[in-house]
Structure 1
């Protein structure tokens, strides 16, 4: 998959998922015949949201300014003001907010990558981990579980296998140690923490030989491959109450097509509904319901000739899914993206857009959207 910021392209081929059928063990539907809808509350074409802290403070880059300048909003991403500049001139690329408000960001300078940290709401920043050519792909390369913060590396400097490190921090990202080094993979797509089962999931791409979904129940000390090969093409996922995962598959080439799917702890796999393209984000709303961001990559043979857009899919129960909105691409040589990684305290979702017609430079910007019930099936 390609990162959100098109200024740092990644060329990745993601293949295959084998499909089965089963039932999803999720929360009860809001109403048996309810249908999800998506209401757009606000559209912004000048800023690119980077993170939302638990307090509700949102952080963004202003697209006509240097990417070393960070802006903040305390009114629900309605208005923005300058917050801070990275002290070393590093460019903010991807950011994640921890449960206590600590900010961790992948920053770059002089051709190298770093993990930078702010413990004061983005006012000051310090580089805490040198990454070399490795970096973050999405905010979910970072996860928290049982008092430890984890970071799984991503890279695009080689298409070959390369050691991928899982870093761990016991002090909210101030210091780091390598907890595990994975081999036989190209890169780490991301992490999902399941606090209820004290489990950490890790996702690797991108070919059938290099991909895989792994699970650890001992703080990342040892791992079990739950789903390998083509079936393990996952970028982002959410845990369900029974310990299984809900996710959209990252598939761009036949013979298989991408689906929303569920994976249990014992490896039982179930395909739920076919998607229009590879899924780069899957999000569970605090009040219930799910959304998935579906991309359209420039390559791939799963698309009909008329499919040139990113899409948002939604579900009220995790079982029945529906396409909610589409976003036509701007540049046919780049990925078009529509992803949800953040939720405001109001319940509004932050829909991050890239390479979309009618938005800012590079087709970037964001919308605040609301998942809602639209009515009943006759």
Structure 2
């Protein structure tokens, strides 16, 4: 079986797999879709220009920062991210950057104070916090830098203090984030973009960037102690990915520079790689809905030659099956010298998606805010 299939041959491969009954499709979640696909829709049902959304706990309680207020003050919503009340503060006056909610409701936050980053923990819904891990110059990129698998919580570091290779640590906790130990140190990369888990196969995926030499997708079935490099180079540039039922990854690529162009791609654990759909720019998020369907948040960065000359917007792409994608929502950038982003990392218990916006024209300070979006299935 071919290990890498580029976009010029991806369509041929899909047709061949669909028409040859004797061949077992390597990507049954995606490539067995009907050739005549209906088109999904995305309906914005609520817009907020006063808060920066952070995360939602399994209980449905959502957390955010209030734009213009101190970033040490955390707000919570119990009505589906419609109204917000002050919930708690960071310890020692630090600033909230990223929050991840564990399955039991424990909150883990990247906070910054005095120029250093710390992991803080709350077991009472964000009312009180304690610092549990000193990260120094390292931090989290998104909530997907933290993942749970088989009773262990993992944290993959991200850094922005050098463009050169930097050692990146994988921290592990067996007590819901109270204490941590370094499980692995990765060399030869610049960024620890994020993690994804495959509970059915007890597998942990890790994503690294940021240039062609530093980028890689790794997979571990030994609780993060040993790793297999599944894909390297520009094709492996990914921030977040969805794990499909067959154990493969579906992801929108984080590619800004030629020779490659960004695509929706699929990668199996054995390294089989297929490009499924071209995208308008580098992506920061790929999300699989609980009820079925996918969305991808595609940014417009100020630099990069993989964009069309007229491109000035972030886009939200959607798909029913992971193969056929359409750009449905568009957000022009406010400042041409900053990234404009529109990303989905969270889904409310109601099924509404939380679209987090940055540097988007018509939103709050810095183009920040969020929208609640309904995924429409024909």
Q: Same fold (TM over 0.5)?
A: yes
Q: CA deviation at 1:30?
A: 9.6
Aligned match for 1:289, one of 280, 288, 293? 293
Q: CA deviation at 1:100?
A: 0.6
Task: Quote the Cα distance in structure 2 between the aligned partners of 1:304 and 1:265.
Answer: 33
1:34 pairs with 2:42: no
Q: How do 1:86-105 residues align onto structure 2 when only pairs under 5 Å count?
A: 86-105=90-109
Contact 1:186–1:204 under 8 Å retained in 2: yes
Task: Quote the Cα distance in structure 2 between the aligned partners of 1:285 and 1:68.
Answer: 31
Range with greater deviation from structure 2 (31-40 or 288-297) = 31-40
Aligned match for 1:264, one of 268, 278, 298? 268
Aligned match for 1:25, one of 20, 28, 32? 28
Contact 2:347–2:354 under 8 Å retained in 1: yes
Equivalent residue, structure 1, for 2:17: none
Equivalent residue, structure 1, for 2:190: 186
Task: Quote the Cα distance in structure 2 between the aligned partners of 1:119 and 1:25.
Answer: 40
Q: CA deviation at 1:341?
A: 0.3
Between Structure 1 and Structure 2, the one with more helix by share is 2
Q: How do 1:53-132 residues align onto structure 2 when only pairs under 5 Å count?
A: 53-132=57-136
Equivalent residue, structure 2, for 1:236: 240
Q: Secondary structure at the match of 2:29?
A: coil
1:324 pairs with 2:328: yes
Task: Quote the Cα distance in structure 1 between the aligned partners of 2:248 and 2:69.
Answer: 42
Task: Quote the Cα distance in structure 1 between the aligned partners of 2:180 and 2:91.
Answer: 21
Q: CA deviation at 1:39?
A: 0.2
1:45 pairs with 2:49: yes
Q: Secondary structure at the match of 1:140?
A: helix
Q: CA deviation at 1:135?
A: 0.2
Task: Quote the Cα distance in structure 2 between the aligned partners of 1:191 and 1:347.
Answer: 23
Equivalent residue, structure 2, for 1:372: 376
Equivalent residue, structure 1, for 2:348: 344
Equivalent residue, structure 1, for 2:219: 215
1:206 pairs with 2:239: no
Contact 2:156–2:168 under 8 Å retained in 1: yes
Equivalent residue, structure 2, for 1:12: none
1:353 pairs with 2:357: yes
Following superposition, which runs of at least 4 residues in structure 1 exceed 4 angstroms of deviation? 17-20, 27-32
Task: Quote the Cα distance in structure 1 between the aligned partners of 2:35 and 2:374.
Answer: 18
Any idea what the Cα deviations from partners look like across 1:290-339, whole Å, max 9, x if unmatched? 00000000000111221000000001111111111110000000000000
Task: Quote the Cα distance in structure 1 between the aligned partners of 2:275 and 2:90.
Answer: 44
Equivalent residue, structure 1, for 2:165: 161
Task: Quote the Cα distance in structure 2 between the aligned partners of 1:33 and 1:110.
Answer: 53
Q: CA deviation at 1:29?
A: 5.6
Task: Quote the Cα distance in structure 2 between the aligned partners of 1:97 and 1:29.
Answer: 33
Q: CA RMSD in A?
A: 1.5
Contact 1:30–1:317 under 8 Å retained in 2: no
Tell me the number of residue pairs that the alignment of Structure 1 and Structure 2 aligns: 358
Q: CA deviation at 1:262?
A: 0.2
Equivalent residue, structure 2, for 1:227: 231
Q: Secondary structure at the match of 1:26?
A: helix
Q: CA deviation at 1:85?
A: 1.2
Q: Secondary structure at the match of 1:234?
A: coil
Task: Quote the Cα distance in structure 1 between the aligned partners of 2:76 and 2:176.
Answer: 21
Task: With the length of structure 2 as denominator, give the TM-score of the two structures.
Answer: 0.92
Contact 1:161–1:183 under 8 Å retained in 2: yes
Task: Quote the Cα distance in structure 1 between the aligned partners of 2:306 and 2:28.
Answer: 29
Task: Quote the Cα distance in structure 1 between the aligned partners of 2:368 and 2:101.
Answer: 21
Runs of 5+ unmatched residues, structure 1: 1-16
Task: Quote the Cα distance in structure 2 between the aligned partners of 1:122 and 1:30.
Answer: 45
Aligned match for 1:253, one of 257, 277, 290? 257
Any idea what the Cα deviations from partners look like across 1:97-139, whole Å, max 9, x if unmatched? 0111100010000000000110110011011000000000011
Any idea what the Cα deviations from partners look like across 1:79-112, whole Å, max 9, x if unmatched? 0000011121110001110111100010000000
Any idea what the Cα deviations from partners look like across 1:193-226, whole Å, max 9, x if unmatched? 1111110000000111111000000100100000
